[in-house]
Chain A
Amino acid sequence: MNGPVPAHLGCYANSGGGPSLLPLDIGHADYLALTDPTTAFWALVKKDRLAETLAGGPLLDQYRVQAAEFARELHGLRFELKPSAVYVNPTERCNLDCSYCYIPREMRRSGDHMPTERLLDALTRLKDYFATVMPAGRKPRIIFHGAEPLMNRDALFAAIDAFRDDYLFGVQTNATLLDAAALDFLTARGISIGLSLDGPTADVTDVTRLSFGGKSVHDKVLDTMDRLRDYDAWSVIATCTAKNLGQLVPLVELFHAREVPTCMLNAVRCTLVGGREVKPDDAALAENFIAALERSHALFLESGRKLVIANFANVLLAILAPTARRLMCDISPCGGGRAFFALAPDGGLFPCSEFIGLPAFNGGNLFEQPVADILASQAFTKVTSRDVDKFAPCATCAIRHFCGAPCPAEAHEMNGSMEKVGAFCGFYEEQVRYALRLVADGKAGDFLWDGWDAGVETSFSVNLQ
């Protein structure tokens, strides 16, 4: 910018109308970060150049003129989206008794299936709703989730065939019921398949994931992974608990060896007591999680083949390209009830699957009320209005819009209020710091999907020597 700075843009950083940039130690030898948390703007500055950077120059000049644009972009992402996906639970039942599941145990053991006709009716109603909020030509997503969706396989497959032109489908399954016929059905239709596995060996997996009869399912999941090896639309979710923390590195090695294209290393959700009983310590989780990331990177350098760890990749995207996020947990408000919602087998709609065990968050019944009315219910708005700008300690946190303080269900059930942090504040702090270190070292792209930036344009770029 040439000449004096217009008064409304502020002459100085951190005073008057000037940009507010918080310094943030990221644990890097050479760099620290500056962030404007109100716009999710960041810069990495060499430590010995901080004073002159804050005194003025190209970084401040360019940010002054674009800050309002970034604020609008973030506001749109946080408050103006319409739903485009539904987690559909076609059954309450599951054949496994995972200790940390967020679906109540009795519901999983002896709950109801959604009859086929009822499921078809549900997808018809949802299709009608999406036609009112989604642009023509874009398909909404249906994720069959659980409990174990393949417990109600006939209904599931009938729905996929009936609506294959209307939705993009995914199935998250424990893999135990994926026989050859089921795999053929799903892969022939290009359905995205997510599996679950928590350990590199059966003795680790079996600590948290066993059948109701106490049988191991580890080998069955490995067998299914082998059969999916040449399929390109599959992933694996591992739940990180106090029981498998030390095994995340060998678990990543197993995933890479079996050519898993994408995995998620999700911290256990602490909404229900069972999850809280295996909650890992934040610092220990961060240490082991980052070790697993580092191992995945080393494997990439050795083999040229990436194992993308999607939940961390999403934190990187929140920093590099906020609107390119693919997951909507680590944003505030989270995606629950506004980017997606969940359908229970009895027709109840919840902001997210995470709330299905909590009747107070049932917003209404799909078969009795319009979806739009349910989305406006108090059960939903309690979640969709949770805003990290409005409660401590998030309101003064420099990285609050890279993290979003997930998850509202945990905050409510574990910490007593929607206006509390979730279960893993410290873990998210460490993830963001690590992500910024990767950016400083020019390695961030190694942790993202190839082609992640197709359709993405650069809106800000300052690189000063």
Chain B
Amino acid sequence: MSQTTQAQQSQTVPATLQPDVQPAVIATRQRCEADGVGLSHYILMDRKPAQ
């Protein structure tokens, strides 16, 4: 098995992963500060991409 690293990405165009490059194993995890921002019935539209 060979190992490669996936670059972090923010997809702004439709994904184009082709079947012929499907990896055998995919496992990723990302993290940020868990700042407690989270609601229930409502999505607050205050997070801008550049923040």
Interface positions of A (Cβ within 8 A of B): 30-31, 41-46, 49, 53, 57-59, 63, 70, 73, 76-77, 80-85, 87, 138, 141, 143, 145, 168, 170, 172, 192, 194, 232-235, 237, 261-262, 264, 266, 300-301, 304, 310, 320-329, 331, 334-336, 339-340, 352-354, 439-446, 448-465
User: Given A192-B44, A457-B31, A445 and B15 touching (CB < 8 A)?
Assistant: yes
Q: Ordered nearest first, which 8 A-B pairs have the shortest CB separation?
A: A451-B49, A442-B17, A445-B11, A328-B38, A43-B27, A321-B30, A460-B29, A464-B25
| Dominant secondary structure at the A interface | mixed
A-B contact pairs, 20 of them (CB 8 A): A43-B25, A44-B27, A59-B25, A84-B36, A84-B37, A138-B35, A168-B44, A233-B45, A264-B43, A300-B14, A320-B30, A328-B40, A339-B36, A439-B26, A440-B22, A454-B49, A456-B31, A458-B30, A460-B29, A463-B26
Cβ contact of B41, chosen from A70, A145, A446, A462, cutoff 8 A: A145
Give every chain A residue within 8 A of B15 (Cβ-Cβ).
441-446
Query: Is the pair B32, A352 in contact by a Cβ cutoff of 8 Å?
Result: no
Please give me the residue from chain B that is nearest to A319 by CB atom. Answer: B29
Query: Is the pair A450, B39 in contact by a Cβ cutoff of 8 Å?
Result: no
Give every chain B residue within 8 A of A321 (Cβ-Cβ).
29-32
Q: A145-B41, A446-B14, A463-B4 are in contact. List 6 more A-B contacts (CB 8 A).
A: A53-B24, A326-B44, A443-B17, A459-B29, A461-B27, A461-B29
Query: Is the pair A463, B23 in contact by a Cβ cutoff of 8 Å?
Result: yes
Query: Is the pair A452, B10 in contact by a Cβ cutoff of 8 Å?
Result: yes
Give every chain A residue within 8 A of B38 (Cβ-Cβ).
85, 325-328, 331, 335, 339-340
Please give me the residue from chain A that is nearest to B33 by CB atom. Answer: A323
Bound CA span A453–B10, Å: 6
Cβ contact of B30, chosen from A53, A353, A459, cutoff 8 A: A459
Please give me the residue from chain A that is nearest to B1 by CB atom. Answer: A464
Give every chain A residue within 8 A of B43 (Cβ-Cβ).
194, 235, 262, 264, 310, 326-327
Please give me the residue from chain A that is nearest to B26 by CB atom. Answer: A44
Give every chain B residue within 8 A of A172 (Cβ-Cβ).
41-42
Bound CA span A266–B8, Å: 30
User: Given A57-B1, A329-B40, A354-B40, A458 and B25 touching (CB < 8 A)?
Assistant: no
Query: Is the pair A320, B41 in contact by a Cβ cutoff of 8 Å?
Result: no
Total A-B pairs, Cβ < 8 A: 232
User: Given A266-B41, A465-B4, A322 and B25 touching (CB < 8 A)?
Assistant: no
Query: Is the pair B36, A58 in contact by a Cβ cutoff of 8 Å?
Result: no
Query: Is the pair A464, B10 in contact by a Cβ cutoff of 8 Å?
Result: no
Query: Is the pair A458, B2 in contact by a Cβ cutoff of 8 Å?
Result: no
User: Given A84-B35, A352-B40, A353-B40, A463 and B3 touching (CB < 8 A)?
Assistant: yes
Cβ contact of A335, chosen from B13, B39, B44, cutoff 8 A: B39
Give every chain B residue within 8 A of A442 (Cβ-Cβ).
15-17
Bound CA span A32–B17, Å: 18
Give every chain B residue within 8 A of A320 (Cβ-Cβ).
28-30
Bound CA span A455–B17, Å: 24
Cβ contact of B24, chosen from A49, A237, A326, A354, cutoff 8 A: A49
Query: Is the pair B45, A232 in contact by a Cβ cutoff of 8 Å?
Result: yes
Q: How far is the CB of A271 from chain B (nearest CB, A)?
A: 12
Bound CA span A451–B32, Å: 13
Give every chain A residue within 8 A of B42 (Cβ-Cβ).
87, 143, 145, 170, 172, 194, 237
Q: How far is the CB of B15 from chain A (nearest CB, A)?
A: 5
Please give me the residue from chain A that is nearest to B46 by CB atom. Answer: A168
Bound CA span A41–B27, Å: 8
Please give me the residue from chain A that is nearest to B13 by CB atom. Answer: A304
Bound CA span A168–B51, Å: 15
Give every chain B residue within 8 A of A70 (Cβ-Cβ).
29
Query: Is the pair A456, B14 in contact by a Cβ cutoff of 8 Å?
Result: no
